[in-house]
Structures are given as structure tokens and as C-alpha cells.
A and B are shown apart, each in its own frame.
Chain A
Amino acid sequence: MNKKMIMAGLAARPVRTTVSILAVALEVTLILVVVGLTAGISYETGKRTEGVGADIMFQPPNSSLILAINNSTMPMALENKIKEIEGVKAVAPVQTLVNSSSGLEIIYGVDPQKFDAVTGGFIWHKGGYFKATDDIVVDDVYALAKKVTVGDQVEVLNHKFKVSGIIEHGKGARLFISQQTAQEMTGMVSRASMFYVKLNDPNQVTAVIERMEKVFPTYGLRPLKEYAKLMMSTSMPALDAFIETVVFVAICIGVLVIFLSMYTTITERTREIGILRSLGGSKRFIIGMIFQESAVICLIGIVIGVGSSFLIARLVQFVFPTLIVMITTDWILKASFFALVSGVIGSLYPSMKAAAQDPVEALAYE
């Protein structure tokens, strides 16, 4: 009977019910898409960084883990010093540039020979390394997304490049230019953003890092094995704070909408509440009814929210093929939980107010 009453109550006010459901759906979508986008970019970049094939990433002091983006602040001369460390096989200096004009693209400025020595070389789909300073190598995902092939012109960071080669994706960045061009574009001549280090024995990562720490005590030394995991938000305080903020804002939206919806519901239905009280409906019965009504709104909102998140993820990937929205079961459950919590908080006061109504006054309500 409760189910019938609740559904009839919701159906009797279709506009408000729809708006409330959409607000909960928005809450869930906001959480899933923002977290999915953050996690997707982080994880995918981490995977690509891991895919470089190096054993250690050498970064400037106080450098961030996020996307391995740093200004070119280290002198190139460090390359030789790193090479001198026992166990180091090869070192590849890299300049990183970020293009955010369409999605988020990381561009590596590399020395082909040194980069190949560390990575073992690219798998080439077409063409080869840059022959001129305005040549660019792109990965197959970028080529497919931008519909470019060898010989085509692409504009990156207000600079026109000619595609010299297309490689298999998964090694550091999607775009590669020569180190010299990168240094000229950043104005950081003879400097590098980071060094990829290849070891003679990959099992000696910890030992080599310990040796490096003695020589370069303030620098950032990170093992690249399981780098992708490190890139996930849970390991990154800055992203955690960002996600927490988004979740908080989303919960606030949910709480306020459910509150408003339930508050207006009980005001409109004061007389109905009076009738139920006159029939012997207890305070608990009234509270339960309001809670169940808000739970139904939340559950429908969650289903729509999860569905629309997957739809938006598809849309994002269609518009920005290089972006990945990672919607995980873990976050679907979390977002659903947050939506239900906002439903409970939002309907707490209205349900108490409804239950506390004097039956005589409620029945007299016009």
C-alpha cells in the first residue's frame, strides 16, 4: 500500500518529481563524469608514461606527479651525471609541452636516438622520425581522431607542423617533436623537463634510486613500474581535494533539491498528512513515507545519472577522441551512495516537520 501511495504522490506532481529526479541524476552525473575524466586522463597518461619502457623518471625538485608536466628547469648537463650512476644503462632527456586547445595533449620534445635507447624504439605505422625542425610524430589515436596522415599539416600551440610519422600509441605522449624545436618553443635552451632512465637490471630500481638520492638529494626520483596506479587520484592529494570538492558540491545540489522538493510536498500535502494522522498514522509512518518517496526519487535519479554518465563519456570520446572518461563500478557505487545520503539529509527536516504537524491544524489547512 505504501508503494501505491508513494507512486501516486509522485505521479500527481509530475513536474516537481521530474525536476527532482533530474537534479539527483545531475548529482550522480557530475560526480561520475568529473571523477571519470580526472581518473581517465591520469590513468591513461600514467599508462603511457609506464609504457615508455624506462625504469626511473628523474624530475626537478618539488615536481608534481600530475601528468609529469614540468617546466624545463633542469640543465641538460645532468644527463651525463645520471649516466655516471652505477647501474644506469641509458638516459633520455624530455621536454614536455602541454596543448589544451582541444582536450589535453602532452607533447614530448625528444632526441630520437636517446629516446629509442631508453624505450626500445617506437612501433611505426607510417613514416619515421622528424627530418626537419617543423616535423612532428603523432600516435595512431591522434592520427585517427584528427584524420591526419604522413605529410599532412597540423597546428599545435600556434605552430604549424608536418606529420613525419605515425606510431603505435602508448609511449609517453601522443605527439613528439624534436628536442631542439621544443627548446625553442619553450625558450628553455639546453634544459629538460625530465629524464627517463633505463637500467642495466630492471630489478635494481630501488638500489639505483638510493644511489641517485645520494647524488641528487632534492630531485624527484620515481620508479616507473606501476606508475599508472600512482597516477590514480587516490595517490594524489591534489586530485583528491579536487574530487572531494566536486563530490561536496554535487551532494549540496542533491540535498538542496530534495529538501526543496520534500518541503514543498509536505506543505502542499498538509491536509493529506492530517488525514493520515486522523486515520491513526503514526509519526513514524509519516516520516517513513516521506523518506521512501525521496528514496524513490533518488533511485530513479541514480539510474538516469549512471546512464547519462556513460552517454556523456561516449560523447566526450566522440568529440575528443584522445580523452578518456573512466567510469568505474567503485565510483558508481560511491555516487549512488552519495545520492541516497543527500536524499536522506534533504528529506530529514521536511519529514520531521510533517510528522510533528498537529492533526487538527493539518486537517484545517486550506
Chain B
Amino acid sequence: MKNLLETIDLRKTYKIGKIEVEALQGVNLRIREGELVAIMGPSGCGKSTLMHLLGAMARPSSGKVLIDGHEIAGMSDSELTEVRRNKIGFVFQKFNLLPTLTAGDNIAVARHIHGSGREHDQHLKEILQLLMIEDKMGRKPSELSGGEQQRVAIARSVANRPAILLADEPTGSLDTKNSEIVLNMFRELNRRFRQTIILVTHNPELVVYTDRLIEMRDGVIVSDNDPFSEDTESELAQPARSV
């Protein structure tokens, strides 16, 4: 299977005042096309930082991030933007829909930025059907429930057929029923369209919907049940080593 994402000894350090905080301390992982992966860990373990790096929203302090074979560390801002535009779809905890636009226009903005033509029309139609939001396109986010907003956000993120869908706490703002609906839809997207999905969460209940669980703690991966890897969990727990 084709590797879509790979990190090699990935480190990220933030400076908060005069103190340097090491959010990632040597993360090695490999995610293949069509996988549905959960990255789990407590707050502050570095999972959101990892997601930002995997989504080309930030550059690593050291180490490598390869997105679809392209190393992002040395990329310019416009190159990173292009990677986000063409390869990545984001789903956030707070939905992050543009409040002044309708659901349909929110999706249209993403397509406009991507420069999509009519070639993705059929795909979008199927997505909207799958997410059961075809009739919500004329409504503004404020007129939608949390679950509906998140489904619009999912539709927006996959409208341009990105290689990778990154979801940061996608059920964090939803009740149990809506969480279940949204998670089922992620699974359906993965199965029907072979969409590579990475869910970042601290919620262990979410794990049952995924094929693979990567656990993080204090900026390192402590376990990874990678079905394709021969490496052991104990080896993964060692920082600065390839998976």
C-alpha cells in the first residue's frame, strides 16, 4: 500500500516566553492510503501539534514530514498552502464554518480555492447524500444543529477529494447521538471512497470506529497497533526511531 504520510524523528519546539516547550520529541509514523487511524492521548500530549504538522499547517523544528512523498520542512509558505489545498482536508472540533455563508457556499468556497471544476460534482453529490445534508445547503451555520454543521464541515473537507482527511476532536462539540452519526460517516467515507482519515482525539470510545490506534504521551508515540508493521510496541515507544 502506498505511504501517504510519514514522519521521521519529528520534533516540534514552541517558545512560551523564555521557556522552550518540546511538544513533539521524535515521532516516527507511517500512514498508508485508505487507512482510518485514531491518534489518541491526553490533553497536551502533542497530538494537535502532530496534526498541524501532518496537515502542512506548521513546519517541524527538526525531523521530517513527508506528505504523499513531499518533504514539507523546507517548503515555502506558498508551497505549504498548495499542499493543504491539494492534499489535505480538515475537520475541526468547532466546525469552523464561515458564519456569513450558507452551507452550500461554505463547500463552494473550498472548491473555489481548490479550483475544482465540474469533475467533482458527482462525488460531491454522493458525499452530500451519504452525509444526509443535501437539503441543508441553503442554510447558514447558525440555522443548523451541531451535528449538521459538522457534517457540512466534513463535506467541505472531502469535496475536493483530498488524499488525507485530518479531523481534530471531530466529536468534541457533539452529543452522543450526533457523535455516533458523524463517526459512522467517517467510517463510511473510508469504506466507500477509500478516504484516508486520521482522527485526533482524547476520547477512547472513538477508537472502535477506527482500524488503527496510535497512542501518544508527552510528545512521543507510546503504542501503535499498525496492522502492516512488524515492529513491536516497545520499539515504537523509543523516540527518534523509525516505525
CA distance A282 to B81 in the complex (A): 6
State in angstroms the CA–CA spacing of A359 and B81 once bound together: 10
CA distance A12 to B85 in the complex (A): 27
Report yes or no: A280 in contact with B85, Cβ–Cβ below 8 A: yes
Q: Chain A residues near B227: list those with CB within 8 A.
A: none
> Among the listed A4, A272, A280, A358, which residue makes an inter-chain contact with B113, where contact means beta carbons less than 8 Å apart?
A280
Least CB separation from B97: chain A residue: A275
Are B85 and A360 within 8 A (Cβ)?
no
Count, A-B residue pairs, CB within 8 A: 72
Q: Which of A180-236 contact B (CB under 8 A)?
A: none
Question: B77–A285 contact, CB under 8 A?
Answer: no
What residues of A have a CB within 8 angstroms of the CB of B86 in the complex?
280
Q: Are A363 and B100 in contact (CB under 8 A)?
A: no
Q: Is the CB of A279 within 8 A of B84?
A: yes
Do the beta carbons of A272 and B112 come within 8 Å of each other?
A: no
Between A5, A278, A283, the greatest number of chain B beta carbons within 10 A of the residue's beta carbon is seen for A278
| Distance of A112 Cα from B8 Cα, bound (Å) | 104
Distance between Cα atoms of A281 and B85 in the complex (Å): 7
- On chain B, the residues within 8 Å of A2 by CB distance are 112
A11 touches B (CB below 8 Å): yes
Cβ of B90 and Cβ of A283 under 8 Å apart?
no
Contact: A12 with B96, CB < 8 Å?
Answer: no
Asked whether any CB of chain A lies closer than 8 Å to the CB of B75, the reply is no
- B53 nearest CB neighbor, chain A only: A360
Range of interface residues on chain A? 20 to 34
Residues from chain B with a CB closer than 8 A to the CB of A8 are 100-101, 105
The complex places the Cα of A280 from the Cα of B112 at a distance, in Å, of 10
Q: How far is the CB of A6 from chain B (nearest CB, A)?
A: 10
Contacts of B78 in A (CB 8 A): 282-283
Cross-chain contact A279 with B101 (CB below 8 angstroms): no
Q: Are B110 and A279 in contact (CB under 8 A)?
A: yes
Which of chain A's residues have a CB closer than 8 A to the CB of B98?
A: 5, 272, 275-276
Question: What is the predominant secondary structure among interface residues of chain A facing chain B?
Answer: helix
Alpha-carbon distance between A285 and B77 when the two chains are bound, in angstroms: 13
Q: Using Cβ atoms and an 8 Å threshold, which residues of chain B touch A358?
A: 58
B212 within 8 A of A: no
Q: Give the complex CA separation of A5 and B100 in angstroms.
A: 8
Asked whether, in the complex, the Cβ of A1 is within 8 Å of the Cβ of B84, the reply is no
Q: Give Cα distance in the complex from A277 to B56, angstroms.
A: 11
* B85-111 vs A, Cβ < 8 Å mask (1 yes, 0 no): 110101010001111110001001110
Q: Does B101 contact A275, Cβ atoms closer than 8 Å?
A: no
**A5 to B101 alpha-carbon distance, docked (Å):** 7
Question: Nearest Cβ distance between residue A55 and chain B, in whole angstroms?
Answer: 68
Please give, as numbers and ranges, the residues of chain B lying within 8 Å of A281 by CB-CB distance: 81, 85, 113
Name B155-203 residues within 8 Å CB distance of A: 156
Residues of A within 8 A of B100 (CB): 5, 8-9, 11-12
Given contacts A271-B96, A363-B96, contact A1 B112 (CB under 8 A): yes
**CB-based contact A1/B77 at 8 Å:** no
Question: Are B52 and A4 closer than 8 Å at their CB atoms?
Answer: no
Pair A285/B90 contact, Cβ less than 8 Å:
no
Residue of B nearest to A274 (CB): B96
In chain B, positions 54-97 with a C-beta closer than 8 Å to chain A are: 55, 57-58, 77-78, 81-82, 84-86, 88, 90, 92, 96-97
Nearest B residue (CB) for A355: B77
Cβ-defined partner of B57 (8 Å) among A1, A282, A285, A359: A359
Chain A CB within 8 A of B114 CB: yes
Flag if B109 contacts A278 (CB, 8 Å): no
A278 touches B112 (CB 8 A): no
Name A residues whose Cβ lies closer than 8 Å to a Cβ of B: 1-2, 4-5, 8-9, 11-12, 271-272, 274-283, 285, 358-360, 363
Residue pairs across A and B with Cβ atoms less than 8 A apart, 28 shown, are A1-B105, A1-B109, A2-B112, A4-B101, A4-B108, A5-B101, A8-B100, A11-B100, A12-B99, A271-B96, A274-B96, A275-B96, A276-B98, A276-B109, A278-B55, A278-B57, A278-B84, A278-B96, A279-B109, A279-B114, A280-B85, A280-B88, A282-B81, A282-B82, A283-B78, A285-B113, A358-B58, A360-B58
Q: Could you tell me which B residues sit within 8 Å of A by CB distance?
A: 52, 55, 57-58, 77-78, 81-82, 84-86, 88, 90, 92, 96-101, 105, 108-110, 112-114, 156
Which 6 pairs between the two chains have the least Cβ-Cβ distance?
A280-B85, A1-B112, A8-B100, A12-B100, A280-B84, A275-B96
Q: A272-B99, A278-B84, A283-B81 are in contact. List 9 more A-B contacts (CB 8 A).
A: A2-B112, A5-B100, A5-B105, A12-B100, A271-B96, A274-B96, A277-B81, A280-B85, A282-B82
